[in-house]
Amino acid sequence: MEIGFIGAGRMGFHMVRRLIEAGHTVIVADNSADAIARAKKVGAQTAASTKEVADRVETVMASLPTPNIVLAVANEVAEGKKIRRFIDLSTTGASMAARTAEILKKHSIAQIDSPVSGGVGGAEKGTLAVMVSGPKADIDVAEPALSVIGKVFRIGERAGAAQTMKLINNYLSATAMAATAEAMVMGVKAGLDPKLMLDVINAGSGRNTASMDKYPRAIITRTFDFGFATALMLKDVKLCLDEAAALGVPNDIMSAVGRLWQTTQDEIGPDTDFTTVVQPLERRAGVEVKAK
């Protein structure tokens, strides 16, 4: 299958590589010369623009950092001569998904919302959770390729349904990170060994994705290099808050979680790794959550 791929960054590169290894022809466009060079090394063809990608293939995938960039790309690919379906692997929220779907529909292009979860490690191993919504016939065409990058979950046909699922997933991930940060800082302040704390938590009912993976790998080791930016997590929580408000759903816990991520971005920086969420709490408590 010939596939266009827009955005070959940290996540996108591994998806491109896996598609090529599975026998697909992949044509990549990216604003970064380094990303283009890296994709070429694993066998990708390249295009000078997103419009050129949409001129050359029927199926175009995109892995992009923000909703506004996705909107801009959707407008560009809508002018393509050959494109028939646009698969958005990004996290944009349901309202933006509906907006881009309407733009593409005017050009007889189907949109498949296909946000993914599992991080850079999941993209590298092909173990992502791939949530899809959109026209069934187009998902049928795309599913064999999407299955290369992870496990496909069909959420529904309505534009934005998969985006809602992704925001719910990321909100829970963000909450686990934030709650575990408070718990670990509290324990260290009380004199507990953070490694032993994680061993106990992960053997008991408090275990979660943060305590089982992120804290042992990137926080108590003080590497803070898990591979996802603070600004992106804050973006996802804000999108989830917006959607909860639009649906009239209570969001007290979500709002509290959002405040910690906002504080982390303000104090530690938007481009820092999201595992730095523990640092504002450490500063206030006067301790560090680190292995002895």
Q: Which residues are catalytic?
A: 166
The torsion angle over the Cα atoms of residues 181, 168, 235 and 98, rounded to 10 degrees, is 180
**For residues 172 and 146, what is the distance between their CA atoms, to the nearest angstrom?**
24
Which is it for strands 85-88 and 116-117: parallel, antiparallel or unpaired?
unpaired
Q: Which residues contact 27 (CB under 8 A, 6 or more apart)?
A: 2, 3, 4, 5, 44, 45, 46, 47, 53, 56, 57
Closest alpha carbon to 289 in 176, 178, 185: 185
Q: What is the CA radius of gyration of the chain?
A: 20
Tokens 């408000």 map to which residue?
245
Which is it for strands 116-117 and 128-133: parallel, antiparallel or unpaired?
antiparallel
Closest alpha carbon to 107 in 142, 73, 82: 82
**For residues 210 and 232, what is the distance between their CA atoms, to the nearest angstrom?**
17
Integer angstrom CA distances of residue 48 from 12, 54, 100, 280 = 17, 11, 23, 43
